[in-house]
């Protein structure tokens, strides 16, 4: 009887130990499962975190922007032109005379005004909650610092030979990469065909792109303004006044006459000549100007594209290429 009782107690004890062991195993498995779930959630959160940003490389520099860019502030005229040709709607753009530039008004309609090219309005930009700001490579250090405090600011290049990089960048930001590629391909095809057709007729000819600003005649280096269209894309000879130009270079009427180009593309914007509103008419009527080969042969073309056009963008190049082909083919 005593032995049986001891056996009974032993069995009860063993059962209890087994129950405790099973409970411990259950807790361990439960703990492992919960840990795995937490790790999975952590991994998913980490992955989600990575997906919220992207790094874009532009002209050798890296810029971190949201993975989905919705609010683009175009704080440069160059980026505004490229937005127009790509069909992208920035939330903010620069003003000229307190309005969206007339030549881009339809494409950029509805965008808020965020100052002008000399002084972007930081408060106005901040209120738009931008995902990225497309500034200008011409902005000074103070402007760059202020804009970067609001959001990543990419200094959109004003150099004409960077036009493809510019358009590709905006295509990436605005989910218009295919459109950007097509614009570039179509342009290059048309320019190549025109160069082949006009090359022989123009091989000994000189053409100049000039802009009247503050009443003065200005020429530009080979890589600035509309010049790459003429000299790089269509293969015309680079005149000495262009080769010697440093940035925007004032050109005297006598120096222009000495250069004696066969073709002149002359741009004149009233708002850039407020104190010299008659400068264009006076130049065209000047006998020295009239003695130039281009003037004598009626090969002076005034404002073949909008005079506010920046020259070094896809929008400007497409428009100017068409105008150049038409006028150089006469």
Residue pLDDT, tens place only, 234-279: 999 999 999 999 889 999 999 999 999 999 999 999 999 999 999 9
Residue-level pLDDT at 1: 39
What the chain holds in terms of domains, given with CATH numbers, is 69-156 (3.40.50.1980), 192-328 (3.40.50.1980)
DSSP 305: S
Question: pLDDT by residue (tens digit) across 207-235?
Answer: 999 999 999 999 999 999 999 999 999 99
Is 37 a residue whose pLDDT tops 50?
A: no
Please give the helix or strand (H or E) that residue 198 lies within, else none: helix 177-202
Question: pLDDT by residue (tens digit) across 47-100?
Answer: 454 579 999 999 999 999 999 999 999 999 999 999 999 999 999 999 999 999
Strand locations in 95-248 (E): 112-113, 132-136, 153-156, 207-213, 216-219
Residue-level pLDDT at 50: 54
Is 23 a residue whose pLDDT tops 70?
A: no
Is 26 a residue whose pLDDT tops 80?
A: no
End-to-end distance of the chain based on CA atoms, in angstroms? 128
- For residue 115, give the nearest of 88, 85, 150 by alpha carbon: 150
**What average pLDDT does the segment 150-173 reach?**
96
Give the model's confidence band at 118: pLDDT under 50 very low, under 70 low, under 90 confident, else very high: confident
Residue holding tokens 């032993």? 10
């Amino acid at each position: 009887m005593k032995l049986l009782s001891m056996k009974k107690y032993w069995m009860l004890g063993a059962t209890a130990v087994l129950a405790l062991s099973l409970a411990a195993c259950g807790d361990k498995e439960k703990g492992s499962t919960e840990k795995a779930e937490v790790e999975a959630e952590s991994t998913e959160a980490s992955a989600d975190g990575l997906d919220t940003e992207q790094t874009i490389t532009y002209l050798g520099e890296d810029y971190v922007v949201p993975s989905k860019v919705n609010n683009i502030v175009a704080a440069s005229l160059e980026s505004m032109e490229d937005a127009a040709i790509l069909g992208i709607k920035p939330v903010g753009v620069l003003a000229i005379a307190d309005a969206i530039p007339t030549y881009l008004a339809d494409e950029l309609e509805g965008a808020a005004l965020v100052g002008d090219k000399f002084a972007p309005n930081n408060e106005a930009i901040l209120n738009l909650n931008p995902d990225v700001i497309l500034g200008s490579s011409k902005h000074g250090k103070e402007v760059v610092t202020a804009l970067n405090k609001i959001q990543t600011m990419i200094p959109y290049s004003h150099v004409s030979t960077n036009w493809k990089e510019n358009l590709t960048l905006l295509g990436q930001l605005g989910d218009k990469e295919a459109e950007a590629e097509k614009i570039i391909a179509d342009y290059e095809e048309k320019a190549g065909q025109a160069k082949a057709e006009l090359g022989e007729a123009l091989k000994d000819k000189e053409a100049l792109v000039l802009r009247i600003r503050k009443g003065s005649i200005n020429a530009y280096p080979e890589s600035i303004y509309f010049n790459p269209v003429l000299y790089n894309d269509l293969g015309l000879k680079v005149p000495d006044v262009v080769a010697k130009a440093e940035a925007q270079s004032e050109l005297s009427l006598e120096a222009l006459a000495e250069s004696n180009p066969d073709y002149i593309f002359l741009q004149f914007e009233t708002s850039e000549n407020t104190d010299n509103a008659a400068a264009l008419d006076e130049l065209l009527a000047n006998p020295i100007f009239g003695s130039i080969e281009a003037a004598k042969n009626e090969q002076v073309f005034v404002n073949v594209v909008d005079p506010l056009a920046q020259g070094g963008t896809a929008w400007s190049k497409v428009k100017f290429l068409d105008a150049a082909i038409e006028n150089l083919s006469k």
